[in-house]
Each structure stands twice: as C-alpha cells, then as structure tokens.
Amino acid sequence: MQAVEYHRRIDVLAIGLFGLAVGALTLGVAQVGAIPESNKVGTLVIALIFGGIVQILAGITDIRYHEQLGGTALTMYGFFWLTVCIAKLVSESTSFHLDMVLYAPINFVYAAFSIVMVYLTAYRNATLCILHIVIAVTFSSTALARLDMIGETLPGLLHVLVGLMAFYHAVASLTQAFTGHQLVPLGPALLHRAQPALK
C-alpha cells in the first residue's frame, strides 16, 4: 500500500508579520529615545534584516503560493525597509550625509499604498485592516517628521503600536495554522464579496 504524501502549506504571513514586529518595535523604541543614538547602526541593521529581508522572503514565498495580496504587501513593505535602511547606513558610514527630506516622498507613496491595503485587508479580518490603518498613519507622520513639521516621538509611538499589532497577528496566524482553531481572535472580515447569482 502506497503512503499518501501530505503537503501542509505553511502560514507565511506569520513569518512576515513577525519580521515586521521586530523591525518596527526596534525602530520605534529608538525613535522615542529608549535606545541611545550610539546604537543607531545596530538599530538600522536589525530593521533591515527583520523589516526588510524577512518580509521580502515571506512575500516571495506567498507569491509562490499564489497569494497575491499577502505577497504584494510583504514584498513591497520589505523593499521599503531594505531601501531606507541601506540609504541610512550609507549615510552613517560615509562623509556625506543624506538629508531627511529624501525620505518624505517614499513615505507619502507608502502611506497611499497602505490606504489601498486598508480597503483590501478589510476583506480578510478586522485586525489586519486596523493594522494597515495604523501603518498608513505611521507613514504619514514619518513623512511629516522628515519635513521637520513634527518630531520623532509620534512616529516612534506609532512604530511601537505597529510592532505590537504585527506580533499579535503573527501569533494568531501561527496558532490558527498549527491548531486549526482561532485561539487568538482576529475579528471578522469588515467587507464581504458579493456572491454571484445562481442561474
């Protein structure tokens, strides 16, 4: 009798959100001043690896699973973290320093992208949708900080909130994938697709 090989698809979103949680919490804690400025390079490296590389790898895997929404979100957010962290590391390690206004346009573009994601993730669950609302506000406040219109405290607190929400969703996704039950509630979908009429 031939054994049936069982392939269980892993929950890639949990991996990507865990990476986001580590990157966002580290950056947020640094922005509010709890991590000294002398550790800036280390903060950027942690954000680059977890916020950037981990999310990109998870996104590429999600795309291979034909999950366009998750794959697009994870890879695009991952490339944001990768690009910004590399630019800041270059600025820290060379004699010329990049002006903070350089990062304002990319933050505004990602704020708009996150608003689109708010609508799309409303079809998934409430937690993911609310996370993207916070992400959109975080990008907007970060852009204002780069234009010297506000300080770093508000973006820092918002990054901490993003990190905590991402960690919550990662744990919820992981436990549901492992047990088959929603032990950590994510809330219902806020929007529902219209079912095609039967002929």
For residue 150, give the CATH number of its domain.
1.25.40.600
Answer yes or no: is 19 within a domain: yes
**Encoded tokens for 24:** 């966002």
Answer yes or no: is 191 within a domain: no
**Encoded tokens for 136:** 């959109």
Distance CA 101, CA 138 (A): 16
Amino acid identity of residue 21, one-letter, is A
pLDDT at 199: 57
The residue ranges of DSSP E strands in the chain, in sequence order, are none
Q: Helix (H, G, I), strand (E, B), or coil: what is residue 43?
A: helix
**Encoded tokens for 64:** 């291979």
Distance CA 86, CA 181 (A): 40
φ/ψ bin of 13: left (φ > 0), alpha (ψ from -120 to 50), beta (otherwise) = alpha
What pLDDT digit, counting tens, does each position of 57-69 carry?
Answer: 999 999 999 899 9
pLDDT at 198: 62
Answer yes or no: is 193 within a domain: no
What is the residue range of 142's domain?
12-179
For 49, residues 6+ apart whose C-beta sits below 8 A from its C-beta are 23
Answer yes or no: is 195 within a domain: no
Answer yes or no: is 185 within a domain: no
Answer yes or no: is 126 within a domain: yes
Q: Digits of tens for pLDDT over the chain (199 positions)?
A: 454 444 456 779 999 999 999 999 999 999 999 999 999 999 999 999 999 999 999 999 999 998 999 999 999 999 999 999 999 999 888 777 788 889 999 999 999 999 999 999 999 999 999 999 999 999 999 999 999 999 999 999 999 999 999 999 999 999 988 888 889 999 999 999 877 666 5
pLDDT at 5: 44
Total of domains in the chain: 1
If one counts every other C-beta atom within 10 angstroms of the C-beta of residue 39, the result is 13
pLDDT at 9: 60
**Encoded tokens for 79:** 């490339």
Answer yes or no: is 78 within a domain: yes
pLDDT at 6: 42
Answer yes or no: is 154 within a domain: yes
pLDDT at 87: 94
What pLDDT digit, counting tens, does each position of 11-55 carry?
Answer: 799 999 999 999 999 999 999 999 999 999 999 999 999 999 999
